Amino acid sequence: MSNKATRIYFDNAATTPLDPAVLEAMMPYFTDKFGNPSSIYSYGRESRLAIENARKTVAKILNAHPAEIFFTSGGTESSNTAINAAIHDLGCRHIITSPIEHHATMHTVDHLYHLGEVALSHVKLLPSGHIDMDDLEQLLANSQQKCLVTLMHANNEIGNMIDLHAVGNLCKMNGAIFHCDTVQTVGHFPLDLRATPVHFITGAGHKFHGPKGVGMLYINENVKIKPYIHGGSQERNMRAGTENLYGIVGFAKALELATEQYDTQSNYIKGLKLYMMEKVKNVVPGVTFNGDPLGRSLYTVLSVSFPKTEKSEMILFNLDINNICVSGGSACTSGADQGSHVIRAINNDPNQVTVRFSFSKHNTREEIDFVVEKLKEMI
């Protein structure tokens, strides 16, 4: 393992490597099958068919109707579309969210709040990092205006998961719209949207070994909204712009593979997470784990806080030098020094340094042994 060229990739919550079988499914659309899906000749119809087949595949896996699935450029666009639609088309005037949402949600909500378009409430968190359901119930019951509740299914930094059905049913009882950022769970957990009380969910292909730059938005068939991006009549008049043909084909293929492999891979990856927890606990005194890693939690993510010392402050830098890819909090703010809003919200201890390890089917116990060995030297 000491070979310098060996890279250990433990940042799968940020992005994942493309599955070779997904690339293979995409290749023809890069080369021969490049017709514009909006063209009427057979060459264009072939591309249109590929997109509609992808839509059917995704709908079938999520147990939704194909007419409820829209392809986008990723999770960020999907969340922006849903949140803006809830305010501008569905009459929501009060947004209830949490302090630990992904920036794609948080910044969208803050923007609408600063424009003066909505009232904004943040639901309390329990010490475990979970949503305080009693507080959510209070906020909904006390709201004079129609609410949009936007809460993520699984947190990208600490892995905590909400009870999707419990939140959805609370929203239903209170006539609220429910948008759930499921970017970390589509492709990692079975979802049955027919049986789930939710109006909008989101997905991103690159979180489950598909391509970057393609995502999906599920819009429940009972919800009628206007397009967020204007122009042509693509995506049944819901999203203008020539479709990302190869991305969409890749998204569906990756979701198909992830679903087929779910039982074996999820057990395998969960085993890696538990193994790493054990190993780190044994070699680093004073280490703590953020969130609820053994409870209702994403099996791919492990957030670890180390006691802050001169050595451990350099931990990300030193891991990088050793060809180990991890992130300090959320991937989307790495490089910026302000640290993680998620860790601040649940564990505001300045004497700790937090590292997120996130695993995929490609990782091994040997890699964990190597990383833990290095951590020992660094701390």
Residues 92, 171, 325, 332: which is the catalytic one?
Answer: 332
Any residues with CB less than 8 A from the CB of 106 and at least 6 apart, and which? 97, 341
- Could you write out the three-class secondary structure of 292-345? CCCCCECCCEEEEEEECCCCHHHHHHHHHHCCEECECCCHHHCCCCCCCHHHHH
C-alpha span between 39 and 45 (Å, rounded):
7
C-alpha span between 99 and 224 (Å, rounded):
29
N residues, the chain: 379
Helix 245-260 to helix 20-30 angle (10° resolution) is 160
DSSP string covering 88-148: HTS---EEEE-TT--HHHHHHHHHHHHTTS-EEEE--B-TTS-B-HHHHHHHHHH-SS-EE
Tokens of 173: 């009882």
Spatial CA neighbour of 9 closest among 377, 286, 279, 319: 319
Three-class secondary structure of residue 180 per DSSP: strand
- H-run or E-run covering 203: strand 200-204
C-alpha span between 103 and 155 (Å, rounded):
11
Tokens of 153: 């299914």
Helix 42-62 to helix 245-260 angle (10° resolution) is 30
Three-class secondary structure of residue 224 per DSSP: coil
Residue 332 a catalytic site member: yes
C-alpha span between 53 and 64 (Å, rounded):
14
Give the catalytic positions in this structure.
332
